[in-house]
Amino acid sequence: MIVTAQDPHQLEMSLDAYMSEVDLACKKTRELLVGAGLEGRLFDVILVLREALNNAIRHGNRCTEGKRVSCRCRLEGNDLAIEIEDEGEGFDWMPCLDRQPEAVSECGRGMSIMRMYTTSMEFNGKGNRLTLRMRMG
């Protein structure tokens, strides 16, 4: 994981194709939030970030070596905006937005968790860039 830009209100990172990269990105994001005195929703932010990055690496880039995921976390007043972009082919995200996983299905919960913990969730048309917003105050 490489930090490509950082200031007290913003963090930009580039992640390689390994799930351990998610742990490093979450650690840096935690530092950003703690530094800004925003520990209140730390668990929620890190959970949402993990789900988005897991999906981008695993489903977007299919864990392909050399393909990267970019991640930008930006504090905007009371909001946190998280933008995640992968180098994959995208997907048909529209039917997935409101899909509920089966009660005891082992997978398919990431999207619904993101929806439940954020105030908004938007994909670009192709489906390889996701923007999440969370109210921090």
List interacting residues with other proteins (CB under 8 A).
Answer: 18-20, 22-23, 43-44, 46-47, 50-51, 54, 58, 103-107, 109-110, 112-113, 116-117
Residue 83 is encoded by which pair of tokens? Answer: 């933008």
Residue 89 to residue 4: CA distance in whole angstroms: 24
Nearer to other proteins, 91 or 117 (CB): 117
DSSP code for 22: H
Shortest distance in whole angstroms from residue 23 CB to other proteins = 5
Q: Which residues pair with 74 in a beta bridge?
A: 10, 81
Shortest distance in whole angstroms from residue 54 CB to other proteins = 5
Shortest distance in whole angstroms from residue 24 CB to other proteins = 10
Shortest distance in whole angstroms from residue 19 CB to other proteins = 4
Q: What is the largest CA-CA distance in the chain?
A: 42
Cβ neighbours around 40 below 10 Å, total: 11
Nearer to other proteins, 5 or 103 (CB): 103
Residue 89 is encoded by which pair of tokens? Answer: 């082919």
Nearer to other proteins, 51 or 83 (CB): 51
